Chain A
Amino acid sequence: MATTIEQPVKTKAEPELLGFLAEFDDPNALIEASKKVRDAGYRNWDTHTPFPLHGIDEAMGIKWTILPWIVACCGLMGGTIAISMQWYMNAYDYPFLISGKPLFSIPACIPIVFELSVLLAAFGAFFGMLGLNQLPKLYNPMFKSEAFRRVTNDRFFISMDAKDAKFSEIDTGEFLKSLNPTNVEEFWSDVESPKLPRNLKLGLSIVGVLMIMPPALVAYKRSTTTNTPRVHIVPDMDFQPSLKAQNTTNVFSDGREIRPNIKGTIPRGQFKDDNIPFYYGLKYLPEDQDVVTIAVQDEKKADAKPAEDKKADAEKAPATKPAAADPAAAAAAEAKKLDELPWVTEFPMPVTAKMMARGKERYRIYCSACHGLGGEGDGLVTLRAMDLQQGTWVKPASYHTENVRKLPVGRLYHTITNGVRKMPAYGPQIPPEDRWSIVLYLKALQKSQQIDANTLPEDVKRKLRDTK
């Protein structure tokens, strides 16, 4: 046996005395004994009974539980979290006005505060109880005692823990015997590490494999293609009966799914007649508006004219056609009409440096492509169109001609809004404030090209000379 490989011998730990168990067969005897143990000054001990025993708390000298305080703290914490969360979400991070109530409104907070307080108080009670009872505890060395099994049936026990400061192997044993128990025994710590049973290991492995399968299946399906139709898990969500824009339907008599504005109503935020200078660039709306805007005018006509006048409209339409046959004359007539409109000459809003900066930025985005950075009608689009000699291209006007410089700001605003010649209407793209900002920048551009250099101060002149 000389060649025996030396196995590392698993030395069994010395079993350690953990305490004593004293057995009683009568609850009253247990209470009497408990009083004696309490008065003897032991702290680390417990009683075990098959049912709740009135008076055992007093007999053991157990202090009133601190659980209510834990619950109260958790409840208060829940309330605080709820109220600060609602303040942060509703009033600070994402202010959202709901039915005209204040952003941070106590009555609206009450239900959430209530719910969270109750929730956290319940958590406090549940987990606090588990914690104070030192649960979950899967194993206790006392379970090894044969006698202790009757604790769930008809026996009553006192257990003395060896960790107690007053505990001593001989004295405590003697003391317990003096309490007249039916039996006293010791309980010892385990010497072997508890192993998991084989069946449990197997079961857990199977459960683990089963749990991995659904996510694995999902991952596989998501990373591969298939020629079978997709699975509709919730068909109601995939095929909704709701109408889609621009489709036809037989729900409404006109066959349109998208609904036109209701007659006689103005969509929210589209009522413009309360600030005519700002929205139209006009001092007031003239009686005959057909040159101002096409869209607005059409709406107004449809609203103003009763149904009987439809016929008159129909007759009028062919009458305008001959005018279109002579485009030059029509254009001249339109230009004349435009000149006569009451354009505003002042900005209908305070002019600020911020507005100028905004105007410059917007001008460079929307206008400079054709009109050029300096407004001379030499934008990149224009240059390229000229290069290619595109016949239909109309060269944009330079802002620095006498004609354009004379135009009132209202007219410039109108041009941006509704377009002119080849220039499309920018009204739908640029909000009115930005259109006015562009007009302001445009006026500044015009001024920059028409100033007499002698009127400039010396340092500005030098700066202009030095700047390329």
Chain B
Amino acid sequence: MTRYIRRAAALSLFLLAALFVNAVRIQVLQADGLNGSPANRRAAIARYDEPRGTIVVGGRPVTGSKDTGEQLRYERTYPDGPLYAPVTGYSSQTYGTTLLEHAEDGVLSGTDPRLAPLPFWNEFTRSERPGGKVLTTIRPSVQQAAYRGLDGRRGAVAAIEPSTGRILALVSSPSYDPGLLSGNSPEVTAAWRRLNGAETRPMLNRAIRQTYPPGSTFKIVTAAAALEARVVTDADAPTDTPDPFVIPGTRTTLPNPVPGCRNASLVYAIKWSCNTVLANLGAKVGLKGMLETAGRFGFNDASLRIPSGVAVSNFDRRMSVDQLALSSIGQFDTTATPLQMAMVAAAVANGGELAHPYLVDRTTTRDGDTVRETPRRSYRRAMFPATALELRRMMVEAAEKGTGTRALIDGVTVGGKTGTAQHGVGNAGTPYAWFIAWAQLPEAPRPAVAVAVVVEDPEAAGGEISGGGDAAPIARAVMVEALKAAKP
């Protein structure tokens, strides 16, 4: 019997060894695949197991965490949700993340390996790192001024510090409370459906994700191109522009909002927004020159990130002369994000050099040790300093004596450009009101703020509406707040 008992024992040993081999198969060989399975809830549980790191504006967190005691434990809260929604985006257990919540997710959720002082050791111990902080460049007072200025009307504001590229305000209106989307309850699904179905599209980030025809504000770009291409050598000299002006290659005449545009100088044309002069100049510069200048301001750049992706501002690469002429005054297919137009103003304000816009000052661990700091980077040289100086003078003229007087601030140098962009089939829609501007304190070496405002549904109706009436006061309020903070 001994022999058979031994064999039976060997069989049992074989069975138990098979268990071990199978355990190795699952726990070692297949582990990665199983851990990565989308049906495996462990990743989601681990993700929400700790309070998420905070997004900080002006030293104060604008996000919080709520312990729900559920399996996905911590939910995001947004104390000032609608105001900062275009900055933070949402972090939803059901719908994922957007904007900064998305771009800085690694730091906020604690998975970024740079949060650990000893990454390898951490990998070994599998200890969870607490989420880090994201410190934004947004200035609360500027953001609030912009948000108040829009006052629920559809539109957007982007404000930049021209010398550094720091984004001081990013507002989209009407806004929404990202906190409504935080959890995984039926209410969240309902809120999602309601927000997505809303006619006003509150979840659209109009400041960086929506493009509008820039209208006359684009004339700054055309003017820069004309000066750079030496099509205009003296901004005060009369240009060879007939009025009425027939768009080249068509029989259509281009109207002007004011009289006196015939052979007007570039300065006058910017000051009073002469369509004929700039359409003519754009056509004279030619497609290549216009494309190049527009590109140096940031048009057609699909890779711009702040760090959230920015929608591409468009200036067509192939156009006939008549299309080019219309594009040169911000019509036809030319579209721009509010941020893009703020960049145009910033380039003028900063002597032609365009700093890369950014929204995150630095990221830190929960304890405040810096993980990464965003350096000042040059985006592009948009134009020669001399060109910038000329444009500066024209924008000041426009603000002080032309269409943009409602943006003026006592004792401050303000340069501005209005825009009224037609849109809709046969230009049937209410025109968008634009205003781009910059402001400089008397004793300051350079302007402290550049801003772009767009209002989709201006109050005034008919031909009277203009950027000067609806958008300029908002830009003024934003610049006032920005200058307060910049005061030495």
Query: A and B, one complex?
Result: no
Residues of A that sit less than 8 Å from B by CB: none
